[in-house]
Structure formats: C-alpha cells, structure tokens
Chain A
Amino acid sequence: EAQVTQNPRYLITVTGKKLTVTCSQNMNHEYMSWYRQDPGLGLRQIYYSMNVEVTDKGDVPEGYKVSRKEKRNFPLILESPSPNQTSLYFCASSTGGIEKLFFGSGTQLSVL
C-alpha cells in the first residue's frame, strides 16, 4: 500500500530534550516536506526536500533540522524543543512537484 509513515503518533517531552520524528514513504517520491498545523494558522511549511541531499527552509524553520540521506526517509529533528513547538506535525511527499501531496498520519507533539 502506498503510504507516508510517520512515527511516533503522539509524543510528550520536556524542554531541551532532543527528539526526532521519523518519516518514510514507499512511493519513490522525490519531493518531501514537513508541516506544522496550529489552530487558526493552518498548515505552515517547516522544511522541504526536492531530492536526496537537497533540503531547503520553508516558512517556519527556526528550531528544526532535517536531513535527506535516502530518498524514502526525511526525519525532522528538534535539537532543543521548546513549548512553542507544541503542535501537530505532518510529513508529506509528492512525485516531483507539489500537485498532489500525500500526507502522513501526523505526530502530535507536546513540549512541557
């Protein structure tokens, strides 16, 4: 089944404790992206990647890191999480453009 897999689904952590949210897609998509979703603000792009070893900042990259060492994986790293990073995070992928994004099931992150 074609899908984007994110883990974990829920995560509660404390300020400053490094964490990684994993994202993997099995559709051989070149484009992958991370979004955060907050009430009243919609989906905002954090980082995106057009291909392996190619990443770029989205609209809200501060406090986040990404890497794209393999085509299928695009982890999101929070080196020192803060409470304002409490949010619902989505990973998404598409064939090459952004015409049709396939979203993962989301990660609800709470930073205490």
Chain B
Amino acid sequence: QKEVEQNSGPLSVPEGAIASLNCTYSDRGSQSFFWYRQYSGKSPELIMFIYSNGDKEDGRFTAQLNKASQYVSLLIRDSQPSDSATYLCAGQGGKLIFGQGTELSVKP
C-alpha cells in the first residue's frame, strides 16, 4: 500500500513564528507533491506544488522536497491566525495519494 504520512497534530505556533509541516511518502515513483489547505468546514484548496528536489518559495510559503529521503515539507513564515487550518500533503505517482492532514493552530 503506497502511503503518504503526516503528523496529525495539532501543531500550535505563536503568531509571527515559522510553522513547519512535514510529510513522508513510501512510493519512490512519486514525482509531484502538493500542499492543500483546508479551513474547518470548507473544501481543500491548492496552495503549493513541487516537482524538483530543493525549495520552492511563494510569498510566505516554502515547499521543500527531498526525494532521496522521501520527505516533503511546507514552511509558513510569519504565521498568522488566518493560517490556522488543516494542511493536506499529497503525492502523485500515477495516482494522487493524500496524507491524513496536519491541523495547524496559530495563536495570537
């Protein structure tokens, strides 16, 4: 069974801090990775995707991919209370597999 694993959390960080969300995957054939944000009671929305090893930055968000270690992470700089949500990691290797999500809480 090909899996994507995330810590379910909740992860709590103070406002202005860096939030680090982590994800590991078992399928070495996975080529692309996605981070979706899901506010409580809402549907997931794509915030970042990454295909290549290394870092990809978009505003306050940085996605990191290490294919050798089968590890994906999402860093949120200057965390805001509005970033409080569940973050879903997904890997694509033929099919898209979602992790169980990490709940992030940013405290004012």
Contacts and interface: CB of A to CB of B under 8 A. Distances in A.
B45 interface: yes
**How big is chain B's contact interface, by range?**
20 to 34
Interface residues of A, number: 17
Contacts, number: 40
Contacts of B99: 42
B101 A42 contact: yes
A3 B92 CA distance: 23
B32 interface: yes
B49 A90 contact: no
A44 B101 CA distance: 12
Interface of A: 35, 40-45, 58, 90, 98-101, 103-106
Interface of B: 4, 8, 32, 34, 36, 42-46, 49, 88, 90, 92, 95-96, 98-101
